[in-house]
Amino acid sequence: MEPAYRGLGRCVCCFWLAVAFDVLGLLVLLIGVFVNVFFYDLLIYAGAIVIFLSLIWWVFWYSGNIEVLSAELEDDVGLVKKDKGALGGISVVVRRLSTRVYSGIRNSLRRNGGAQRSVAETTVAPCSKQVVVTLATLTPSERTLQTCASSVEWNDAAMPPTATETFPT
């Protein structure tokens, strides 16, 4: 059985923090307005900011005290009504079945590392052309320009050589 909350509700700490921020912000704001100091504008802005920050605590207090009946939660969080009659039992069975099927598929995909590809997807189509690219390996100690040549097997046109420069890291 839930305890009955009276007065300030469940989030008493948030309420008192909001009140403290409001009082402190108002105090700093009024000091900036009525006291003759050279940094009055800083006090006015700081008071306004503290009052604005108190809105966070007010929102926490308000949202923490929202009462939602369990009957209203049934559709949102998946709670099942106990007295639905014959159709209620069918929906429970369907929900359990779909959960088992979904978790079985998900677990099998995790074990196999993803969906299995068919043979048609893994073979190369007969009309595709293969591109061969040759690259040179460089060591960090080399500071010379290296050229990379690229050629296309199905087309005899060779690409012009390009130069790459490496810097020691």
Over residues 14-28, mean pLDDT: 97
Maximum Cα interatomic distance, the chain, rounded to a whole number of Å: 88
Q: Where are the domains of the chain?
A: 12-64, 131-164
- In this prediction the pTM is 0.44
Output the DSSP codes for 71-82. Answer: HHHHHHH-PPPS
Q: What share of the chain is helix, strand, coil (3-state, %, to 5)?
A: 50, 10, 40
SS3 98: helix
The tens digit of pLDDT for each residue in 76-132 reads 666 555 555 556 677 778 888 888 888 888 888 877 765 555 444 445 455 556 666
- The number of residues making up the chain comes to 169
Give the position of tokens 């420069």.
Answer: 165
Q: 12-34 and 40-64 are packed helices; what angle lies between their axes, rounded to 10 degrees?
A: 160
The tens digit of pLDDT for each residue in 22-62 reads 999 999 999 999 999 999 999 999 999 999 999 999 999 99
SS3 52: helix
User: In angstroms, rounded to a whole number, what is the distance separating the alpha carbons of residues 90 and 79?
Assistant: 15
Question: What pLDDT does residue 98 have?
Answer: 84
Amino acid (1-letter code) at residue 132: V
